[in-house]
Amino acid sequence: MSAEGHGHELEHDHEHEHHHKDTFITKYIFSIDHKMIAKQYLISGIVMGVIGVGLSMLFRMQLAWPEESFKVFSFFLGEKFAPNGVMTNDIYLALVTIHGTIMVFFVLTAALSGTFSNLLIPLQIGARDMASGVLNMISYWLFFISSVVMIASLFVEAGPASAGWTIYPPLSALPQAIPGSGMGMTLWLVSMAIFIASSLLGSLNYVVTVINLRTKGMSMTRLPLTIWAFFVTAIIGIISFPVLLSAALLLIMDRSFGTSFFLSDIYIAGEVLHNQGGSPVLFEHLFWFLGHPEVYIVLLPALGITSEVIATNSRKPIFGYRAMIMSILAIAFLSTIVWGHHMFISGMNPFLGSVFTFTTLLIAIPSAVKAFNYITTLWKGNLQLNPAMLFSIGLVSTFITGGLTGIILGDSTLDINVHDTYFVVAHFHLVMGISALYGMFAGIYHWYPKMFGRMLNKNLGYVHFWVTAICAYGVFFPMHFIGMAGLPRRYYTNTNFPLFDDLQNVNVLITTFALIGGVFQLVFLYNFFSSIFYGKKTVQNPWKSNTLEWTAPIEHIHGNWPGEIPEVHRWPYDYSKPGHDEDFVPQNVPMKKGEEVLHH
């Protein structure tokens, strides 16, 4: 099958000819076209992102000016959760929890992979559509339903889930322990179960499509790195998400049917519970078996996008194409055997801690390879510093800054004292949150013309990048210090510890950057939505890129290419190749007579 997918091509061509005119519903709502589904994912993701970032701005205000009264709190949280405009400690934890859940799962997993895997896999490998358009549609709508359930959980009477995004039992299992563990947690679990179903359908589709539907000549070693990243990400998702599903199901059993998978010897609210023999540590294992690969599910697509954007805009081949693939594979493999580094002090046997320290620090090697390869790609390039490129360079910067502190957290000995402090918050926000977000922005700026047929405003893009870049460092860099000072995360206020009084002005600074950075995302939103209608019309290949998506017409059509699917004759990174007049040679251009392959 693989590279020569003739059978499929014919089938699709046939379908294409007989296509009926779309109604509004089949075109915009229940679409089975991958390009439309990508846009649906993106816009849902932006909506969820606005909510997720908005929540963080609220609790950052509480952290900077603890227990002060704000009109915005009364407005958004209501009298119950913000009496007289003062945020309560219950809702503080809920905000933190839902912020984490939305950003990690709904924005950086579903929206990032959902948008770009859907848009780019068929277009870059030369396929008419996904292997199964219907499954693809179902995947999106399950994601939509799970988003709605998650948002609905914000409005239940006792408040949404508030046990942290990691929902460790017994806290998440016992409504006696925290009000959010009642209806709010039930909805959280239901939402996540649906979400996982959606994610699995999507991932299966991506894997099958990449394996089966590549056009003629598109061997695995001619795939753009974006596709490699999406492909491997989907595989990690298929391996690890079911484990989270099982953890969620077992937790549901413990909560509702009296089982004791995670509960044992508990005395709460004046009575002894009957549960015996379970262990919360088991839940931690199950959760982090997904939770850690999840970091790479979030990060790899961003790195894939960056590889493509940096190569295109450096007008140079990506440096070390095969090394990049090998490091993606190495990261994917290692990511499934490092989960214990979240549990060094969970009470598990210290011997396991030694093993997980070893595997965790190994991940630094492929990560370092990637970072060095990006930097070398820039060297002696002819850099086109458009907004997508800036976000990609920004990603490499935060990936390095955030990744380096992973050497501290991945070392069990050092983790003892910084575990669950703001140092951790700083680390993962930079390396996975901000980096993945930058990757997503880079992708949006780069493929906006492909999605909407129009260009974004460049100068607004520049403003967006620079303010975001400064604020991202402004928020997360100081957090390393307050974490090293021993300040625990998830504290509603630090005023009960005079010991931490000298950290308060740092918190004010962090919040100031967070509010400015958050508000400035409006520039992006304006640019994004107004350009859909008023942006300048694009040309077919605005970035002079080599990959196949730019050979498809600007107007979206079912089946992507009006005639034959282009055939691929070379790898995607022939930029500035000697012997060619132009500084790019698209993948569908046949090799000249006597032209040599100059890469490995």
Binding residues for another protein restricted to 280-309, rule: CB under 8 A:
280-281
For residue 131, give Cα distances in angstroms to 7, 77, 348, 447, 465.
13, 44, 43, 22, 36
From 131-139, 221-229, 245-253, 502-510, give the range in contact with another protein by CB under 8 A: 502-510
498 touches another protein by CB under 8 A? yes
Q: How far is the CB of 226 from another protein (least distance, A)?
A: 18
314 touches another protein by CB under 8 A? yes
Three-state DSSP at 142 gives: helix
Q: CB-based burial of residue 364 (10 Å sphere; 0-12 exposed, 13-18 middle, 19+ buried)?
A: middle
Could you say which residues in the range 349-368 bind another protein, by CB under 8 A?
A: 350, 353-354, 357-358, 361-362, 364-365, 368
267 touches another protein by CB under 8 A? yes
**Residue 584 has what DSSP assignment?**
B
Q: How far apart are CA 395 and CA 312, in angstroms?
A: 16
221 touches another protein by CB under 8 A? no
272 touches another protein by CB under 8 A? yes
140/287 with CB nearer another protein: 287
383 touches another protein by CB under 8 A? yes
- In the list 50, 216, 384, 453, the residue contacting another protein (rule: CB under 8 A) is 384
Q: How far apart are CA 264 and CA 548, in angstroms?
A: 57
Q: How far is the CB of 493 from another protein (least distance, A)?
A: 6
Q: For 497-578, list the strands marked E by DSSP.
A: none
74 touches another protein by CB under 8 A? no
Three-state DSSP at 84 gives: helix
- Which amino acid appears at position 531 of this protein? S
Number of residues engaging another protein in binding (CB under 8 A): 155
Residue 589: what are its φ and ψ, rounded to 5°?
-85, 125
402 touches another protein by CB under 8 A? no
Q: How far is the CB of 144 from another protein (least distance, A)?
A: 27
Q: How far apart are CA 67 and CA 333, in angstroms?
A: 46
Q: How far apart are CA 500 and CA 240, in angstroms?
A: 39
Contact string 164-203 vs another protein (x = CB under 8 A): x---xxxx--x--xxx------------------------
Residue 368's CB is within 10 A of a number of other CB atoms, namely 14
Q: How far is the CB of 287 from another protein (least distance, A)?
A: 12
- In the list 2, 28, 78, 89, the residue contacting another protein (rule: CB under 8 A) is 89
From 32-40, 112-120, 201-209, 487-495, give the range in contact with another protein by CB under 8 A: 487-495
DSSP track, 313-379: HHTSPPTTHHHHHHHHHHHHHHHTT-GGGG-TTTTS-HHHHHHHHHHHHHTHHHHHHHHHHHHHHHT
Among candidate residues 386, 394, 517, 399, the one with its CA nearest the CA of residue 447: 386
177/329 with CB nearer another protein: 177
468 touches another protein by CB under 8 A? no
470 touches another protein by CB under 8 A? yes
Residue 81's CB is within 10 A of a number of other CB atoms, namely 18
- In the list 11, 15, 68, 564, the residue contacting another protein (rule: CB under 8 A) is 68
Residue 465: what are its φ and ψ, rounded to 5°?
-65, -50
Could you say which residues in the range 315-354 bind another protein, by CB under 8 A?
A: 315-323, 345-347, 350, 353-354
556 touches another protein by CB under 8 A? no
Three-state DSSP at 243 gives: helix
- In the list 50, 86, 542, 595, the residue contacting another protein (rule: CB under 8 A) is 542
Q: How far apart are CA 136 and CA 392, in angstroms?
A: 28
Three-state DSSP at 539 gives: coil
Q: How far is the CB of 567 from another protein (least distance, A)?
A: 22
